[in-house]
Structure 1
Amino acid sequence: MLRGMATSTFYADDLEAAKDWYTEFLGLEPYFHVPGGYYEFRIGDYLHEFGIINRAFAPARATKGPGGAIVNWHVDDLQATFDRLLALGATEYDPITAHSEGFVTASVVDPFGNVLGLMTNPHYLEVLAKTGPA
């Protein structure tokens, strides 16, 4: 039923500031833009969509601030990525935590109130080795 992540969506009151912050962190410009409403980046081995939406367009029941599910993005160097996010103004949400052989997670809250999950995941690397990047 679930075929793959289509778009990870974050909301921001200050859309331009969020776009600038993620451009700095990701090291690339968004590839798509709807003026006043949306920026989208293509990131990672499979060019997943990472969207930032003006909070004015959030669902009516969406709460402002951290909460709910966390999407964990695989990173090769979790400590370095975590440290970089903190240096850019994110705050720790969940510390670096080893769960089992090779599975390590951490998460931060970006300056706009969204939780960004990070993970070292051997299963991700196994699938990447079999399929190759996009």
Structure 2
Amino acid sequence: MLRGMATVNYFADDLEAAKDWYSEFLGVAPYFTVPGGYYEFRIGDYQAELGLINRKYAATTPDRPGGQIVNWHVDDVAATFERLLEMGAKEYEPITARGEGTGFVTAAVVDPFGNVLGIMTNPHYLEILAAARPE
């Protein structure tokens, strides 16, 4: 049974540039490093792990972004999407409401290193967070 996301890994040809870009976007430095090979950040309410791996260690090297999209919950999809674009990411999926009046909104970009980064406002995420943090 899947119990929750543990680590999402993104690959980069220029690992140092990727570390700097994600450090700026996330507002934190990586907490774990393997020089020349790997950087890992802990982020968000549940300290999910985002790993950056030197692309030379990738099993495959697709010629274009694609595949699964991991959507990270954000409080403001439009503002986050705009910030990512300002930082050099390219639109992959526009801001899209998912179901009329449900509150689910997604968007995705391709980071400057060729990885798809999804963002989402997810009411279910907020319900789970509220239940985990009783007042």
Question: What's the TM-score bracket when you normalise by the shorter of the two chains?
Answer: over 0.9
Equivalents in 1 of 2:54, 2:26: separation in Å? 19
Partner residue in 2 for 1:75: 74
Give the secondary-structure state (helix, strand or coil) at the position aligned to 1:52: strand
Residue 6 of structure 1 aligns with which residue?
A: 6
Residue aligning to 2:124: 123
Identical counterparts, % of pairs: 72
Q: Secondary structure at the match of 1:119?
A: strand
RMSD: 0.8
For 1:11 and 1:65, the matched residues in 2 are separated by: 13
> Gaps spanning 5+ residues in structure 2: where?
none
1:106 equivalent in structure 2: 107
Tell me the amino acid that sits aligned with residue 122 of structure 1.
P
Structure 1 regions of 5+ residues with no counterpart?
none
Q: Which residue of 2 aligns with 1:20?
A: 20
- How far residue 104 of structure 1 moved from its aligned partner, in angstroms, is 0.5
Summarize the alignment of residues 23-102 of structure 1 with structure 2, pairs less than 5 Å apart.
Answer: 23-59=23-59, 61-100=60-99, 101-102=102-103
- Structure 1 segments (4+ residues) deviating >2 Å: none
Q: TM-score, normalised by structure 1?
A: 0.95
User: Partners of 1:57 and 1:65 in 2: how far apart?
Assistant: 17
Provide TM-score, normalisation by structure 2: 0.95
CA distance in 2, matches of 1:126, 1:65: 35
Q: Measure, in 2, the Cα distance between the counterparts of 1:3 and 1:122.
A: 19
Structure 1 residue 63: deviation in Å? 1.5
